Amino acid sequence: MDEHDMTAVKSAADAKPAAARKGPARTRKPAASKKKTPADPGLAALQADVNQLAASVAADGAALAARWEGWVETPEFAPSAANLSHYLALRHRDLRPLQRRLMAAGLSSLGRAESRVMPTLHAVERLLGAATGKGLAASASPNVQDDHFFAGEERIRQRADALLGALQETRPARLLVTVPGEAAGDPAFFTELANLGVEAVRINCAHDGESAWASMIAHVEAAAHATGRRMKVMMDLPGPKIRTGALKKGKNGSRVFPESELAVVRPGHLDAAPRKLPAIECELGQALEAAEPGHRVFIDDGKLAATVLSAQDWGLVLGIDTGPETEGYKLKPEKGINFPDSDVLVPALTADDRDLLPFVAHHADGVEFSFVQTPEDVEELQAALARERPEDWRSIGLVLKIETRRAVRNLPDMLVRAAGRQPTAVLIARGDLAVEIGFARLAEMQEEILWLCEAAHVPVIWATQVMESLMKTGIASRGEMTDAAMAARAECVMLNKGPHLFRGITVLEGLLTRMGGHMHKKAHLLRSLQSW
């Protein structure tokens, strides 16, 4: 090819369109349209149900709280009373079907909402709103910080520290130790308690007297000076004494057997009882007046169980249902009598209690109120405290001892009436309560009391026979160690006196410390396991 031909080819190439020189044209595909993923109909239905639940709980809670209007005089308790009303509204519903749906969706099942009812419901609403794309329900609050969500837990901690003593860092529950009478002359006893980390001591005003109590309190102050740890002082008012008194022997002496009969009489009426029957006094005549045929009666923490056969002017005839069969039950004075089916309408604050108040109100950090059953009982004690210390009675702690069916029924109202005015805790008196509601129901009821108090942001004292065998013999049973482990869910554990008290405190310290890594209230904590 000569030079002319080369020039012709080049010219022809230059004449081609630019697109042709670059090769075949690329076809541009239209932009893919973004298809919106349809919302999961199951989540949408779940969102609607949770929204409805939250709105209903808020409305019903407000209606429940209306009866407490004017009761909350301490502003710090207002959010706690509101949360309690919401919790009552929530638990009036059977939530089990909804819980399973929430779990399947990977959401909170509401099973640990006690101290934060509406924040928990709103948190679930927010997540469902994001998952369905429908946003928040009108009732839901925007996202909140952790310190707001867990504010109820912090309120319980602060209130327990203030009333029952600042908690040791190593364990989840405080220790409250009942002081034996002989410790009034033993200052070293209190120093040892302080050294072992005990947060509070309990003085039972049914025993000893003001001189002994003053010595005990002086020893507490001396121990605080020596150790740098000041233990709180709780003083227990005896309350009405529903106990056995003097007795009259029958044909078997002072022993009664199942399927036999027993006369329980008013004080001073032993001679009025049928001659053929053994008879024993009940120190509180009003209790006998409240009992009717068919009502149950328990003596000595249920060791003797009976049913009222007839009511007489002088007292009651009981038919013995259960008790020791071989040797029978030996009747003794100063044993408790329980009337679980009878409404024993007596003032919780007795004349004897009122006589003790001038000393108690000026020396105790907290008053333990025995046999309290109604908000009116609470108000009566508060009025008496106000007369003793008009300027600062609200600084005195109040411990409500829950011992009867009636107290359980009225617990929400009593919590608001008490904690709405002054620092408050609840003591689960499991001995009397077990007899009142039945031993089979005690485990269930102590759980419900724990939940209710957590909802009210009120600390709880787990009491009665904690590690009793260890305290008395130095050897613990398997059952009582398991029971003590569960006490880690309360803010405080009460120990009674015994020759092995100090060893018991050390054992309980280790047990509670270990359990504190596994649970907080109803929540199971997932600390690392070391056994495998």
**Alpha carbons within 13 A on the beta-carbon side of 461:** 34
Instruction: Please give the biggest Cα pair distance in the chain.
Output: 154
Please list, in sequence order, all residues whose beta carbon lies within 8 angstroms of the beta carbon of residue 179, skipping any fewer than 6 positions away. 189, 201, 202, 203, 204, 216, 497
Among 497, 446, 428, smallest CA distance to 467 is for: 497
Predicted TM-score (pTM) of this structure? 0.88
Pairwise CA distance, residues 180 & 147, whole Å = 42
For helices 187-195 and 210-227, the axis angle rounded to 10 degrees is: 40
Domain boundary residue among 149, 174, 202? 149
**Count of Cβ atoms closer than 10 Å to residue 197 Cβ:** 20
Residue 295 belongs to a domain with what CATH number?
Answer: 2.40.33.10
Position 36 in a domain: no
Q: How far apart are the first and last CA of the chain?
A: 89
Sorting pLDDT into bands at 50, 70 and 90, what band is 6?
A: very low
Give yes or no: residues 200 and 279 share one domain.
Answer: no
Give yes or no: residues 382 and 472 share one domain.
Answer: yes
Sorting pLDDT into bands at 50, 70 and 90, what band is 202?
A: very high
Give yes or no: residues 235 and 352 share one domain.
Answer: yes
pLDDT (average), residues 26-45: 67
Give yes or no: residues 410 and 369 share one domain.
Answer: yes
Give yes or no: residues 206 and 265 share one domain.
Answer: no
pLDDT (average), residues 377-382: 98
Which has the minimum average pLDDT: 15-29, 137-151, 347-361? 15-29
| pLDDT at site 135 | 73
Contact 248, 273 (CB under 8 A): yes
Position 193 in a domain: yes
Residue 462 belongs to a domain with what CATH number?
Answer: 3.20.20.60
Position 158 in a domain: yes
Give yes or no: residues 512 and 404 share one domain.
Answer: yes
Pairwise CA distance, residues 240 & 338, whole Å = 12
The whole domain housing 85 covers 41-149
| pLDDT at site 253 | 76
DSSP annotation of 341 reads: T
| pLDDT at site 241 | 85
Position 200 in a domain: yes
Please list, in sequence order, all residues whose beta carbon lies within 8 angstroms of the beta carbon of residue 276, skipping any fewer than 6 positions away. 250, 251
The CB-based long-range contact list for 375-381 (8 Å cut-off, 24+ gap) reads: 375/410, 375/413, 375/414, 375/416, 375/417, 377/347, 377/348, 377/349, 377/414, 378/414, 378/417, 378/418, 379/417, 380/347, 380/348, 380/349, 381/348, 381/349
| pLDDT at site 15 | 46
Number of compact structural domains in the chain: 3
Sorting pLDDT into bands at 50, 70 and 90, what band is 143?
A: low
pLDDT tens readout for residues 463-486: 988 999 999 999 999 999 999 999
pLDDT (average), residues 372-387: 97
Q: Is the pLDDT of residue 23 over 70?
A: no
| pLDDT at site 35 | 59
Give yes or no: residues 260 and 408 share one domain.
Answer: no
Pairwise CA distance, residues 367 & 378, whole Å = 12
**Count of Cβ atoms closer than 10 Å to residue 45 Cβ:** 12
Give yes or no: residues 492 and 402 share one domain.
Answer: yes
Sorting pLDDT into bands at 50, 70 and 90, what band is 362?
A: very high
Helical (H) or strand (E) element with 359: helix 351-363
- CA dihedral over 267, 269, 271, 272, signed as positive or negative: negative
| pLDDT at site 2 | 46
Pairwise CA distance, residues 489 & 303, whole Å = 29
Give yes or no: residues 185 and 280 share one domain.
Answer: no
In order, the DSSP letters of 250-283 are BTTBTEE-TT-EEEEE-TT-GGGS-TTS-EEEES
Give yes or no: residues 124 and 210 share one domain.
Answer: no
Position 143 in a domain: yes
Position 113 in a domain: yes
371 phi-psi bin (left φ>0, alpha ψ -120 to 50, beta other): left
pLDDT (average), residues 78-96: 97
Give yes or no: residues 370 and 486 share one domain.
Answer: yes
Position 531 in a domain: no
Mean pLDDT, the chain, whole residue set: 90
pLDDT tens readout for residues 391-421: 999 999 999 999 999 999 999 999 999 999 9
Among 373, 310, 314, smallest CA distance to 340 is for: 373
Give yes or no: residues 396 and 265 share one domain.
Answer: no
Domain boundary residue among 315, 338, 361? 338
Domain boundary residue among 310, 338, 366? 338
Position 11 in a domain: no
